[in-house]
Amino acid sequence: MERILFGDNQFFAVNHISDEKSRAQAIKFKDDSAIIKVLDDAMAAGINTFMCTTHDRIANICDVIRDNPKKYKDFKIYPCMPYAHKYANAVTELGIVGTLKQYVPGNFFGSLFKGGVAYINKDFISIMELLVDAEMKMFKGINTPVIFLQNVITDLLLGLGMNELLIAFAKHVESKYNAEAGFITMNLPKLLSVLEEGGIKNPIICASINKVNFRMSGGKELYEEVLKQGRCRVIAMQVLGGGAIPPKEALEYVANLPNVESILFGASSKQNIQNTVETIKYHDNQRVLVE
């Protein structure tokens, strides 16, 4: 994985501290061309990996990437699935079974119903695989070396003790897409133990890691301890602590943590992208000098 990954929250009005900012972002990125422009700015700053949710609009971005193979030949996407609000709103409206009927592709689910509910159970992993395949459709022909499960699903399964499904996701992603599975979580220490018990060694985990203990369940000290052990390949996200830490200070902290392979950030302007990249590079260079 590259040291710096570019995220997509800013494109889809995801802002953890301000509804006002989130509306401003929705207006700014109303047209797909505005997203492409920022992605190009990121590429110009040397970032070639875009980590994004499987939002409907990403399908349009994928079209642009496919239409310009030369320009995007080194460009990689790390899909993060699912786009949770799509399913959450559907569950409110249609219930759990209704949602599955709507989103599991083809007649699979319908025929299972006709065949009786008894063997839906046995085939639940197949249903999960079909949902993954449906989400992956938009990325056809695009380089997706790591495929992530979004934190709301990772952590839901983690809490429910459905460890088998987490492992099944990893296996499916590997066998069908020749990709590595990644897991986004707000509960890194707990998740890591579960993945290790399931036989996944050195997993890719993307977690909230920041100086102010924001969304680091179990606490910052525990996270720092786990990082020291080097048992997983970590992507640090929410490094600004939801906006609570000045960027320079935030990046200095996270760039100097041991075993953080990549840093994920999102920005809407060329200037912010360049500043962030330069700051991370500066701290990386300082660290090399010290070591």
Partner 1 sequence: MLKVALIGAGKMGISHLSILGAHPDVEIVGVCDTSKIVSDVLEKYSGFSCYTDYLKMVDTTKPDAVFVAVPTKFHYKMVKDLLDRNIHVFSEKPFCLNPTESNELFLLAKKKGLVNQVGYHNKFVGTFQEVKKLVKEGFIGEPQHFLGEAYGPVVIKKKSETWRSDPNEGGGCLMDYASHVIDLINDILSPINSCKGAMLKSIYSKQVDDAVYALVGIESGTTGVISVNWSDETYRKMSTSVTIIGSKGKIVSDANELKVYFKSDEHPKGYSKGWNVKYVTDLTEEVNFYLRGEEYSSQIDYFVKAVQGEVPNTVNTFESAWKTDLSISIIKNNSK
Binding site for partner 1 (CB under 8 A): 12-20, 22-23, 26, 85, 88-89, 91-98, 117, 120-121, 124, 152, 155-162, 164-165, 186-187, 190, 212-219, 241-244
Question: From the CB of 25, what's the least distance to partner 1, in Å?
Answer: 10
Whose tokens are 């159970």? That residue is: 121
Nearer to partner 1, 213 or 274 (CB): 213
AA identity, residue 123:
D
- Kindly state the helix (H) or strand (E) to which residue 233 belongs, with its residue range: strand 233-237
Residue 198 CB, nearest approach to partner 1 (Å): 13
- Look up residue 206 and give its amino acid: C
Q: Cβ 127 to partner 1, closest distance in Å?
A: 9
Minimum CB distance to partner 1 smaller for 159 or for 258: 159
Please, which residue, 36 or 125, has the CB nearer to partner 1? 125
Sorted by sequence, the CB contacts under 8 Å of residue 2 that are 6+ apart come out as: 47, 48, 49, 262
The closest of 144, 193, 207 to 173, measured between CA atoms, is 144
Burial class (CB in 10 A: 0-12, 13-18, 19+), 191: buried
Q: Which is nearer to partner 1, 92 or 111 (CB)?
A: 92
Taking CA atoms, 113 is separated from 104, 116, 117, 120, 191, in Å, by: 13, 5, 6, 8, 34
Residue closer to partner 1 by CB (options 89, 271) is 89
Residue type at position 11: F
**Residue spans of alpha helices (H) in the chain:** 19-28, 32-44, 56-67, 84-103, 108-114, 124-136, 151-160, 163-177, 188-197, 220-229, 247-255, 270-290
CA distance 64 to 71: 10
Q: 44 vs 97, which CB is nearer to partner 1? A: 97
Q: Provide the β-strand partners of residue 264.
A: 5
Residue (7 or 283) nearer to partner 1, CB: 7
Smallest distance from partner 1 to CB 116, Å? 10
Q: How far is the CB of 278 from partner 1 (least distance, A)?
A: 25
Cβ proximity of 202 and 233 under 8 Å: yes
The CB-of-191 to partner 1 minimum distance in angstroms stands at 11
The nearest distance, CB 61 to partner 1, in angstroms, is 18
